Amino acid sequence: MNLSLAAGSTESFITDPLARAARRAVAAGIVVVVAGGNAGKTADGREVYGAVGSPGHDPSVITVGATNLHATATRTDDTVAGFSSRGPTRGRTVLPEGPWIDNLLKPDLVAPGNRIIGALSADIFGQRSTWNRLVTTYPQLANVPGAAQAPNRTLMQLSGTSVAAPVVAGAAALLLQVNPGLTPPLVKAILQYTAQPLPGANLLEQGVGELNIEGAVRLAAALRTDIGPALAAGTLRAGDPLLASGQRLPLPQSTINGQSFNWGRLVVAGGNHLLSGDALFTRFQPIYDPTLNWTRQLVLRSTVLYWPLTTVPRSIVEGRVSNQNLITAGVVWIDGNLAQSTLAGGLFLPASTWANQAATGSGFVLSGGFVLSEGFVLSEGFVLSEGFVLSEGFVLSEGFVLSEGFVLSEGFVLSESVRDPASVADPSLTGEP
């Protein structure tokens, strides 16, 4: 399922209607890919943090940001598009324990979304007067280099995270074609683990990196094809082998267009923790259960109820659970051995820095797995709460502007589906250079 919404919401994913609907789709076994939003900069060019839209603020969906390919086939010059919405998510609610701010690491990854060329819809005659409304309103979108714009052969170019998200949705479809037994969380983990971190961009700008379909397909092909059915049947337990018979994990490196690069080998779990290690894909991790939704101290389980004698979902009931096994032994916590005072500042380190830690084996290796029990206080991981002081000495609070020009959004994002660009030069419409 591909969603291009990025609706404005200050609600937590726990209560937000769009997030709840997307979460239920995931619980029913559907991979949900969503556009993160086009609110990465203010009108005067300052970078905005905390502006990911709904339902992209839900931890179960794959939230996609956009990259600028700079009109080349090489990946070495790819950058995160300025308009692409940055994290962390800022939804809030009140739980029995007190106030709650989501603070999720988003987006999950990025994909090409700047000046992407595609088909221009028209009627069967393809006359200019029948071109779609977007192009008739902004005719510069039809200025595609080399396009003859003949009837029934018309092209347009478009930009935005709504263009990037379908790229990831298509990648997810390829993974399911290679391995139909993958669960939605496992598809997400594979896409993140094999992504390529872009130099200079941090976790809140690019997630764990840029989509790498070649590597993702190879990793998916190495895993069992009965994971989903075995989980549904109750025969797949935490720590059970995930590799297919005779398979081993592929080399964590890809070569595309003659250029080789290392995978980032990072997976976000629990909303704001970085995981790595072979055990993520050699052993079944409970977080790959699509009915589980884990964020810091909160674990939700969705129970899918079906109509009698059918496989058609009737309703989905969600509730909190405790004493839930989440991660098995052998998984590496990249942020598990760092002092709390360094973690917020760590958000702004290039994602490649964290990928280097994964590649060199840095981090805390779980020896006995991880179970979130009642009364257990888990390290908050990467958190930006109201009034949190970064190690650099800056205070991030609602609407506070850093001297570098960064802005922490209050969480309001215009819906992509109804948003009118401020001008015909708006890069979220016409693209960046």
Residue 422 has pLDDT above 80, yes or no: no
The mean pLDDT value for 348-375 works out to 67
E strands within 264-416? Answer: 267-269, 273-276, 292-295, 298-306, 313-320, 324-327, 332-333, 364-365, 370-372, 388-389, 395-396, 407-408
183-213 burial: b if 16+ Cβ within 10 Å, else e? bbbbbbbbbbbbbbbbeebbbbbbbbbbbbb
What's the confidence (pLDDT) of residue 392? 34
Percent of the chain with pLDDT over 90: 60
- Digit-coded pLDDT (tens) for 164-187: 999 999 999 999 999 999 999 999
Output 392 or 42, whichever has higher pLDDT: 42
To the nearest whole number, what is the mean pLDDT of the chain?
A: 85
What's the confidence (pLDDT) of residue 12? 96
What's the confidence (pLDDT) of residue 388? 37
CA–CA dist 196, 71 (Å, integer): 19
Residue 20 has pLDDT above 70, yes or no: yes
Output 421 or 267, whichever has higher pLDDT: 267
What's the confidence (pLDDT) of residue 65? 98
Output 26 or 43, whichever has higher pLDDT: 26
**Where residue 410 falls among pLDDT bands split at 50, 70, 90?**
very low
- Digit-coded pLDDT (tens) for 42-91: 888 888 888 999 999 999 999 999 999 999 999 999 999 999 999 989 89
**Where residue 22 falls among pLDDT bands split at 50, 70, 90?**
very high
The mean pLDDT value for 284-293 works out to 97
**Where residue 425 falls among pLDDT bands split at 50, 70, 90?**
low
The mean pLDDT value for 302-323 works out to 89
279-299 burial: b if 16+ Cβ within 10 Å, else e? bbbbbbbbbbbbbbbbbbbbb
The mean pLDDT value for 270-275 works out to 89
**Where residue 394 falls among pLDDT bands split at 50, 70, 90?**
very low
- Digit-coded pLDDT (tens) for 140-155: 999 998 888 888 888 9
Percent of the chain with pLDDT over 70: 82
What's the confidence (pLDDT) of residue 399? 37
